[in-house]
Amino acid sequence: MEPMHIALDLDDVVLDFVAGICEVVNRDFGANVQPNDVTDWNFGQFIDQYIGRDWWLWLEDHAWLWGEKFKPVPGAIGGIEKLRRAGHYIEIVTAKPTWAEDALWTWLARYKPRVHRLTIVPLVEGGGTTPKSKSSDADILVDDRWENCEEWVVDGRPALLYTRPHNAQRGVPPTGVVRVHSWKHILNVFENNWIEWPDLSPSLAKE
Ligand SMILES: [Mg+2]
């Protein structure tokens, strides 16, 4: 297929975030939480009880975990290399608070995903982030957050939803979003052009 400009979300697409969090919480707080238990985007409901405080505030105190503990998603580093070799232009597009930026660079320096570009999407005060479609001009987005994929296809571009326990129960994604289950699956999509283009008919756009 024609080379594309591909936007990759970082956490839980390239970097094994939930698995890393579970491992540290289990080790440090004697819990036994597995990634499959984290079945909702609001992770706190599964781990706050063990940490004894809001997990996001705890993570702010432990931002070094990105650089020193979290590992790549299986297949991601080699997968990125193969996509680049196939001529695609690769951009990581990640929403990060400023307190996580230094650790993010440490992680990138350690694992060296062969991307062309990094875009940090700032968090908006009071919650939420700038839409990824406003932060990147990529042709296609790969993300594990349902809302990010949804927002991207409303903007007229296709997306791949990386299946994770927190989005698995949400069923069939909107037109323009294809579910992928692994990096092998992502590579298959690009090799075989299994991309689905959004339907921008007015009736759908209003939903
Ligand atoms: Mg993510």
Task: Please say if the pLDDT value at position 71 is more than 60.
Answer: yes
> Residue range 176-198: average pLDDT?
97
Task: Please say if the pLDDT value at position 150 is more than 80.
Answer: yes
**Which of helix, strand or coil describes residue 72?**
strand
- What does the pLDDT look like over 13-67, one tens digit per residue? 999 999 999 999 999 999 999 999 999 999 999 999 999 999 999 999 999 999 9
Contacting residues for 133 by C-beta, under 8 A, at least 6 apart = 141, 151, 152, 154, 155, 157
- What does the pLDDT look like over 84-131, one tens digit per residue? 999 999 999 999 999 999 999 999 999 999 999 999 998 887 777 889
How far is it, in rounded angstroms, from Cα 106 to Cα 206? 42
Q: How much distance in Å is there from the Cα of 100 to the middle of ligand 1?
A: 14
- Percent of the chain beyond pLDDT 70? 97
Query: What angle in degrees, to the nearest 10, is found between the helix axes of 17-29 and 44-51?
Result: 30
pLDDT, position 203: 59
Backbone φ and ψ of 30, nearest 5°:
65, 30
How far is it, in rounded angstroms, from Cα 109 to Cα 111? 6
What is this structure's pTM?
0.94
Q: How much distance in Å is there from the Cα of 110 to the middle of ligand 1?
A: 19
> Residue range 168-176: average pLDDT?
93
What single-letter amino acid sits at 37? D
Give whole-number Cα distances, 45 to 50, 56, 128, 166, in Å: 10, 11, 18, 12
pLDDT, position 129: 82
Q: How much distance in Å is there from the Cα of 195 to the middle of ligand 1?
A: 20
Beta-bridge partners for 159 = 141, 177
Q: Is 100:61 a contact under the CB 8 Å cutoff? A: no
How far is it, in rounded angstroms, from Cα 144 to Cα 13? 7
pLDDT, position 204: 54
Band (pLDDT 50/70/90 cuts) for residue 168 is very high
Query: How many Cα atoms are found within 13 Å in the side-chain-facing hemisphere of 18?
Result: 23
The torsion defined by the Cα of 172, 153, 162 and 48, in degrees rounded to 10, comes to -90
> Residue range 4-14: average pLDDT?
98
Q: How much distance in Å is there from the Cα of 8 to the middle of ligand 1?
A: 9
Q: How much distance in Å is there from the Cα of 53 to the middle of ligand 1?
A: 22
Contacting residues for 120 by C-beta, under 8 A, at least 6 apart = 94, 95, 96, 101, 104
> Residue range 69-88: average pLDDT?
98
Q: How much distance in Å is there from the Cα of 87 to the middle of ligand 1?
A: 24
What single-letter amino acid sits at 57? L
